[in-house]
Amino acid sequence: MQQYFVKEHIVLDQPIQMDDEAFHHISHVLRMKENDIIRLCDERQLCYARLHFENGAVYALPYERIEDKTKTAVPITLAMGLIKGDKWDLLIQKACELGVEQIIPFTSSRCVVKNKAEKQDKKLNRWNKIAKEACEQCKRSALVKVHAPIPFAELTKWTQPNTLKLIAYEAADLEGQHLASLLAQHKKPSHVLIVIGAEGGFAKEEVELLRQHDFACVSLGGRILRAETAAFYALSVISFYYEL
């Protein structure tokens, strides 16, 4: 069943006019008909709604609330080094499916991708559109926000209380411990921030900088993973520990 996010507050039995993008998708992509059922979400509640077509517009009439089972027990922020093209788009999509609350792109000394300020707004709009579509596809009750890229050093400014702050590093088997064993020691953090590097990983100085700001260095196992695979692996392990 297709889901759409709406900006206005949902009130049962009060019709909501769908925006142009949703209208096109409903009418011309899915070719839905009068009284077909969709899911609506205003980021506060989920509802079933029936479609009504009138005067070249489509309306959704919410009629029943849906129990929200999509929220993670512990909010997760993924800070991710910028990676190339389609892999970045895939990363956004799958991170949304795996339960992240927000994605913070960053540039670091070994990033291959360079952040060009003149193209940033266009890219950011596209990234958040990908996130929105992914959240609709996996029936989440809240949108994932993709932030504008920041320099690596700005990650040290993260000061949210009781946050478990982690950096995945390929040499962590010598300097830290496996992600799973560390999570087992932290049963109820208020938030998890996991930092994953781009294709080139991290310089030792960057890892040390975060460690000086209370980030724990963790291993993702004995195999060297691609950047996007490392993110999927880490998010899956975190979900396993906190969604049981």
Please report how the helices 120-137 and 85-97 are oriented relative to each other, as an axis angle in degrees rounded to 10. 40
What stretch of H or E contains 66?
strand 57-66
Q: How many angstroms separate the CA atoms of 81 and 112, rounded? A: 9
Amino acid 222: pLDDT? 81
Amino acid 109: pLDDT? 84
Amino acid 174: pLDDT? 53
List, for residues 193-208, the tens digit of each pLDDT value.
999 998 888 889 999 9
Amino acid 44: pLDDT? 86
Amino acid 34: pLDDT? 94
Amino acid 14: pLDDT? 93
C-beta of residue 79 within 8 angstroms of C-beta of residue 155: yes
List, for residues 144-191, the tens digit of each pLDDT value.
999 999 999 999 998 788 899 999 987 755 556 889 888 988 888 999
Amino acid 53: pLDDT? 93
Helices (H), the chain: 20-24, 85-97, 120-137, 172-175, 179-183, 204-211, 227-242
Spans in the chain with pLDDT lower than 70: 117-118, 172-176, 244
Amino acid 213: pLDDT? 92
C-beta of residue 136 within 8 angstroms of C-beta of residue 39: no
